[in-house]
Amino acid sequence: MSPPLAPTTSPTHAMVVDVLAHGDPATVSVHWPSAGSPAEPIEPATMAQLRRQLDALHEAERDRQNTAVPTTRQALGRTLWHLLDGPSRRLARAMATAQAQDEPLDLIVRLRSTTDAVRLAHHPATTWRWELLSPEGGCHPTADGRLRLAVQLGDAEPAQAPRVLEYGGLRIVFMAYSPRGVEPLLDYEAEEDRILQALERPIREHRAQVEVVEYGTLAELEERLRGAPADVVHLTGHGRLTPEGPRLVMEDELGQPDFVSPEQLLRALRRAAKKPDLVVISSCHSAEGRDGMPSLAATLVDGGIP
């Protein structure tokens, strides 16, 4: 039997910040649990600014050649930074402390609701592009490794240590999809190689195994997941924001586009022999929502899929 995955040491510098939604329509506040101070409401003007910046970024990113993309991303990232940092500059001080010891800061942004009136999938902050967090005059700390960011939906407390797998290595199912007529065409082999290269050491040490689903259809994915347990499901392909909501652009049985909704994907995952511990979606727009519709990622998490 392969040796179990050993727990790693908990990060030295880790912080949790709650972004709380209240009432209907939702108002939002920021709360640092470790500070022992009350939540700080986000002003309506700041909420309106965020909506404008998100809309501007969405429009800019529709054109891959648009030179406004970097500046719109930076503007949104700075607004989000100031929103979390607040007058007490808690985030900046935590970053400085971690950097002084030449270590990254682990930041968990926890999106929570204080009332049943706000479903977690509809939490306003699920679409705020947290990965762009950036202080004034600085590069993106999430891009250069100074800030390791996790966005959590719901009240669960962060785990103190990784769970040991009794049976040994992670069972990973990987599927890529690229239907005819959807550009740019996905290089299946290159995508598969990236996964295998990233996991080369744990695979070599028998701490992980990767199974590739050959056909990029939802039916093929469901059949594989019903056949044997999987710990991690990794999906790579195109995504779209449609008038009906976010969609994964998978393939049908003829290789044509099949626009898969979050609800369809949820049904397939729930029919699995074992609910995956983690679903990774490498797809455009999977964390975005428009016109009050929740993102694909938020819908999956709200449906019990991490």
Domains of the chain: 14-153 (no CATH), 170-302 (3.40.50)
Which has the minimum average pLDDT: 107-116, 131-140, 158-167, 278-287? 158-167
DSSP structure class, residue 28:
E
For the chain, report the end-to-end CA distance as a whole number of angstroms.
28
- Per-residue pLDDT band at 9 (split at 50, 70, 90): very low
CA nearest 121: which of 26, 53, 258?
26
Q: Cα 158–162–165 angle (5° rounding)?
A: 135
Tokens of 57: 């970024």
Q: Is the pLDDT of residue 2 over 70?
A: no
Q: How far is CA 303 from CA 73, 119, 122, 233, in A?
A: 29, 11, 12, 16
Cα separation, 299 vs 119, in Å, equals 10
pTM of the predicted model over 0.85? no
For residue 131, the one-letter residue type is E
